[in-house]
Structure formats: structure tokens, C-alpha cells
Amino acid sequence: MRFSSTDTYIATEDLMVAVNASVTLERPLLIKGEPGTGKTVLAHEIAASLKLPLLTWHIKSTTRAQHGLYEYDAVSRLRDSQLGDAKVKDIGNYIRKGRLWEAFESAPGRTVLLIDEIDKADIEFPNDLLLELDRMEFYVYETGVTIRAKNRPIVIITSNNEKELPDAFLRRCFFHYIRFPDRETMERIVAVHFPDVKKLLVREALNVFFELREIQGLKKRPSTSELLDWIKLLVADDLPIEALRAKDVKTALPPLYGALLKNEQDVHMLERLAFLSRREGR
């Protein structure tokens, strides 16, 4: 079974090649790309298209590698021992499995494990996972047991580039950068989300969107998820196409621009551009 576009996700040729290569090589797939370009959703789509279960490990600034393996619940054990509970005799009762352990145990088939936003964690985090991701095994000190993957999970790791990842970690991954979709790909992405929207509206909306992205000096350029939100609003408001047509973003702010522009500096910049171009046009 190979990964390809689905009726909810558009995968470009190079993305398909990367996913299938990492599955074949049994190496984690490291996915980077602008925010909102479908990195997280990709793991869901891979799981769905390969018909495998998905486990998600969402990384935060406080996440440590050990959390993905297991945690020892010493507090519960202490409480149980004070209450004279017989459970305390078996320390295994207080070992809480992490996402990686769950993925290692999956049977009968493989699991897709999404390690989402790895760059949010401490710089040591990726290094601390090297051995586990390489050998797909780890040792539980409390019980003296080695946990080995019954089936190597398909590991998808996403990063927004907030931190550099260490070389030793990179060496173990297959890397893919999701390039920002070109116009034709974007049309297909919009079509899978809004199959019934008028072609003309999509065309005008994409004109405005790509023009906006080209403006130099924007702090946060809108991406796929912003475009999808915007189109949803345009449709919900049943806006006439004339409201978009021939509306150069340099002469007026697009309608419902709050879905596209996410900070006041960018809104001010566009207002200034509009003011200048109106003055020149006079």
C-alpha cells in the first residue's frame, strides 16, 4: 500500500515520494514547512490511506523524551502504601506508558506515530530520543524490562523551525520540506475542502490571496489554513464576486481580511499602501 492524495488531502508528487521513501527505509519522516501547510494533517492522512491507527504525541516546551517512553507514578505508589494496598508489591502497577511505548506495542500491524511540533521542546529532546527511534527499544529501570517494538511504527515528525535540530538527529530522519503550494495545487486543495464553491469565486479569491502573499515586508504571510478560513467566510456571507474582483489589495483591504492578516502591523501596512495608491491615482 502506497501513500497518495486522498479525497481530503492533496499530496504533491515530491511529498508522496518522501512519505513512501521513509516508510520503505523505516526512518522517521521529518516534515517542515510554513505554518498551516498541512504538516499535522499529513500524518492523519498517511494513517487513513495506509489504514493504520494513529497515535499523536503533541510536544510542548515542558515535554521531555522520557514522557514518550514511560513515567513512574511514585505519588500513587506512596499513597497506596500508606493505605496498605496490596498493589504496591508490583511496581509495574505504577508505570504509565508513553506514546512511544504504545506505538511499540501495537499489534497486529504497524502504527503511525505523529510527534507534532518537535521544535517546541528543549534542545536536548531530539538527542534524547535518538536511540529509541533508531533501535526502537528502551529499558524500564524500575522493572528491569526491555521494551522492543513488535512492529516498527511509521514515525512522522513535524517542525516549524523554531529551533535548529541537532545533526545526529537529522541523520536518522528522512527530510521533506512542504513548499508553499503553487496556484494550481492550491486550487485543488480548495476544491477538496469546498467542492461546491463557484469556480469564479475561487479564482478571484486566489488572485487576492497570492497578491497579498507577494507584498514585501508582511510580518505574517497568510497560508493555506488562512485561505481556507477566508473562503469559508466568503461563502457563508454570500459575498458578491464583485466585492473581490478587480480589488487590487494595494488599493483596498480585502473583505473579511481578519481571516488573512493576523497582526496590526500588516493591516496598517496595507492601509498605508491603499492610501498612497489612492493619492497617486487622483
186 binds ligand ATP (CB under 6 A): no
Minimal CB distance residue for ligand ATP: 38
Q: Does 10 bind ligand ATP (CB under 6 A)?
A: yes
Specify the stretch interacting with Mg ion by CB under 5 A; choose among 4-12, 40-48, 136-144, 244-252.
40-48
Given the complex with ligand ATP, which of 10 and 202 has the nearer CB atom?
A: 10
Closest separation between CB of residue 20 and Mg ion, Å? 21
Spell out a b/e string for 50-82, using b for 16 or more CB atoms within 10 Å of the CB, else e.
bebebbebebeeebebebbbbebeeeebeebee
Q: How far apart are CA 128 and CA 202, in angstroms?
A: 46
Helix or strand or coil: residue 24?
A: helix
**Binding status of residue 37 toward ligand ATP by CB under 6 A:** yes
User: With binding defined as CB under 6 A, does residue 109 bind ligand ATP?
Assistant: no
3-state SS assignment for residue 159: strand
Kindly give, in sequence order, each residue whose CB lies less than 8 Å from that of residue 112, ignoring residues fewer than 6 positions away: 43, 46, 47, 50, 52, 53, 54, 55, 153, 154, 156
Our finding on whether 40 is near Mg ion (CB under 5 A) is yes
The site map against ligand ATP for 138-177 (x = CB under 6 A) is --------------------x-x-----------------
* Among 2, 25, 26, 35, interactor with ligand ATP by CB under 6 A: 35
In angstroms, the CA 180 to CA 7 distance is 20
Contact residues: Mg ion, CB under 5 A:
40
